[in-house]
Structure 1
Amino acid sequence: MNVIETYNLTKRYKDFTAVSNLSLSIPKGTVYGFLGPNGAGKSTTMKMLLGLTRQTEGEFMVDGKTYPKERMQILKEIGSFIEAPAFYGNLSGEENLDIIRRILGLPRSSVDDAFELAGLTQHKKRLARKYSLGMKQRLGLAGALIGRPPILILDEPTNGLDPVGIHEIRTLIRSLPEKYNCTVLVSSHLLSEVELMADEVGILNHGRLLFEGPLEELRRDAASRGYTSDNLEETFLRMIEEDNERSEGKI
């Protein structure tokens, strides 16, 4: 069963097409790695799924619900982390999350639960402006996790983290489907990072889907194209490079 499905999803800004005829199928209970270089259309796609920007054409369904008809029901099922999370610097981390909790109508215990899931419990009383970049990323993740939503949409959640922080967030994301039966859509521009946590991947370039499927299928696809299938990062870069050349009419 697919939790998220898009059908020819397209977003245009005047003469620029950010996302073009995108058809995704994201299975329930998986970590789906959404890959592409900066500017590929990943964030725009995620914003459309969250109703933050309206598609120009196409449609999508989330957990069997259609947008925009069932927009509010869709949003109640999704926890999200889009771009750099914004917080009130003069409030503690706990107070910031409590604002989200009250908006969502969740019990008080959900704040402590989210802090524990994000590994931030010992810092919840600290003012948000005194958080390090890594702690702010974790606080954003805690905000997405509050109430344990069945679907998580995470846009580059390891940005700005040191190697230890990246490993911890990656391990957390990898564990989430098994921990509480959720589905995670996580974007990155690094296949080497996604490879360590994703079950399936979708590769985007210039708003177009170049590949979708399990990592093993990507390896087979790489071998059939004559790429080095034991180095998926190289495969990813070659796919992007060939698509760019095709777009420029070089091949």
Structure 2
Amino acid sequence: MNMIETNKLTKTYGDFKAVAGINLHVRKGSVYGFLGPNGAGKSTTMKMFLGLTKQSKGTFTIDGKSYPQDRQAILREIGSFIEAPAFYGNLSGEENLHIIRKILSLPKSSVDDALELVGLTEHRKRLARKYSLGMKQRLGLAGALIGKPPILILDEPTNGLDPVGIHEIRTLIRNLPKQFDCTVLVSSHLLPEVELMADDVGIINHGRLLFEGSLADLKQDAVQKGYSHEHLEDTFLAMIDEDNQQRGRRR
């Protein structure tokens, strides 16, 4: 069963096509790595799932529910982290999470659980404006995880983290489906990062979905197309480069 499914999902801004008729299939209980260069259309796709921007064409369903008819029901099932999370700088990390908790009508213990999950318990009383970039990323992730939602949509959640922080968050994301019986859609522009936590990947470039499948499928696809396949990052770069060249020829 697919938790998230799109049918020719498209988003245009005037003459610019940010997302071009993509068909995604995010399996329930999986970590799906949504991969592409900066500006490829990853964030725009995620914003459509959250109702932050409306699709121009096409449709999508989340947990069998259709947008926009079931928008409120969809949003109740999703925890999200999109771009740089915004907080009240004059409130502590803990107080910021309590605001989310009250909106979602969750028990007080959910704040403690979320802080523990992302490793911010000892910094809970610090003002958010005094958090480092990495700590703000963690706080944003805590806001997405609070209440343990069945669907998580995470847009480049390791940005700004040091290598140790990246490893910790990557391990956390990898274990989330087993821990909370949830489905995770996580974007990145780094294949090595996705490779260590995802079951399936979707590769997008200039709004077009170039590949979707397991990492094993990606390697097989690379062999068939004559790409380098010793390192999947080389496969990813070759795939993007060929698409860019084809786009240039089409012009």
Question: Which TM-score band applies after superposition, normalised by the shorter structure?
Answer: over 0.9
Opposite residue 64 of structure 1, the aligned amino acid is G
Which residue matches 2:124?
124
Which residue matches 1:52?
52
Q: Helix, strand or coil: the match of 2:106?
A: coil
Which residue matches 1:27?
27
* Count of aligned residue pairs for this structure pair: 251
Which residue matches 1:102?
102
Which residue matches 2:205?
205
- 1:150 offset after TM fit, Å? 0.3
Cα distance in 1 for partners of 2:167, 2:62 equals: 29
Q: For the Cα contact (< 8 Å) 2:80–2:154, is it kept in 1?
A: yes
Which stretch has the larger CA shift, 114-123 or 213-222? 114-123
Cα distance in 1 for partners of 2:126, 2:211 equals: 43
Cα distance in 1 for partners of 2:194, 2:116 equals: 24
- 1:250 offset after TM fit, Å? 7.0
Matched, 1:231 2:231: yes
Matched, 1:173 2:205: no
Which residue matches 1:70?
70
Q: Helix, strand or coil: the match of 1:112?
A: helix
Q: TM-score w.r.t. structure 1 length?
A: 0.98
- 1:225 offset after TM fit, Å? 1.1
- 1:228 offset after TM fit, Å? 2.0
Which stretch has the larger CA shift, 222-231 or 173-182? 222-231
Which residue matches 2:139?
139
Alignment of 1:79-90 (within 5 A): 79-90=79-90
- 1:88 offset after TM fit, Å? 0.6
Which residue matches 1:7?
7
Unaligned regions of 5+ residues in structure 2, if any?
none
Q: How well do the aligned residues superpose, as a CA RMSD in angstroms?
A: 1.0
- 1:123 offset after TM fit, Å? 1.0
- 1:160 offset after TM fit, Å? 1.2
Unaligned regions of 5+ residues in structure 1, if any?
none
Cα distance in 1 for partners of 2:120, 2:48 equals: 30
Q: TM-score w.r.t. structure 2 length?
A: 0.98
Cα distance in 2 for partners of 1:228, 1:194 equals: 18
Structure 1 residue ranges (4+ consecutive) displaced by more than 4 angstroms after TM superposition:
none
Which residue matches 1:18?
18
Q: Helix, strand or coil: the match of 2:202?
A: strand
Cα distance in 1 for partners of 2:250, 2:237 equals: 17
